[in-house]
A = this chain, B = another copy of it.
Amino acid sequence: MDAEHTKIPQATAKRLPLYYRFLNNLHSQGKLRVSSRELSEAVKVDSATIRRDFSYFGALGKKGYGYNVEYLLSFFRKTLDQDETTKVALIGVGNLGTAFLNYNFTKNNNTKIEVAFDASSDRIGEEVGGVPVQHIDDLEKRMDGIGVAILTVPATAAQGIADRLVAAGISGVLNFTPARITVPSNVRVHHIDLAIELQALVYFLKHYPLNEED
């Protein structure tokens, strides 16, 4: 565990990949500096939040000058460990799984989907988005070196697959099923439930002022 980073609030930490990606784009366009206002426009986070976020890494900005892109970028790259690639498995090559596999994760990213699994034998041997599809029965045989799994199986299959992933030594699961899964406390689960995201948006529309950016 890195003491330097454990002090960053989780909300700030969640925005780091976002900042990193945008700065990387600026850098590749040859831009040398960026103001918090420009950053704010681009990443849709208010500039006060950006300044507060950045303050957790020390005072990096200069008034009337902005932030040095290259410095920020090397800082974020170090923080996000971009140099070390995390190997990912995707379970469930349905519509959502296929969308994931076709998504260009390798661009500005430190993750790589190495293997996909599906229960349908029709898909076995296929490549989707350049990733080979294996049969779910072979899960345990092919998880070597894979630390993270994306779960895009039907809700009813989620817990059973999660149990097998845990037994295979996974440390993180990105759960895209509506099911809440139970795992040991040393395994991290991030849950993205499409229905809940939609309900949250509707709730915010009804109850929060419309002139604020989220």
Query: What is A's interface to B at a CB cutoff of 8 Å?
Result: 1-2, 5-6, 8, 10-11, 13-14, 16-18, 20-21, 41-44, 80-81, 86, 88, 94-96, 98-100, 102-105, 107, 109-111, 147-148, 150, 171-172, 174, 178, 180, 182, 185-214
Contact = CB atoms under 8 A, between A and B. Distances in A.
Q: How many copies altogether?
A: 2
Contact of A110 (B42, B174, B202): B202
Given A41-B182, A192-B192, A88 B207 contact: no
B196 A17 contact: yes
A91 B113 CA distance: 27
Given A148-B202, A186-B210, A195 B95 contact: no
Contacts of A190: 197, 200-201, 204, 214
Contacts of A43: 180
A109 B199 contact: yes
A6 B174 CA distance: 31
27 contacts: A6-B207, A6-B209, A10-B214, A13-B200, A14-B200, A17-B195, A17-B196, A17-B199, A20-B199, A21-B195, A42-B180, A94-B99, A95-B95, A95-B99, A99-B194, A100-B194, A103-B194, A103-B195, A105-B198, A109-B199, A111-B199, A148-B201, A148-B205, A186-B210, A188-B204, A188-B210, A192-B192
A203 B171 contact: no
Given A148-B205, A188-B204, A88 B198 contact: yes
B13 A171 contact: no
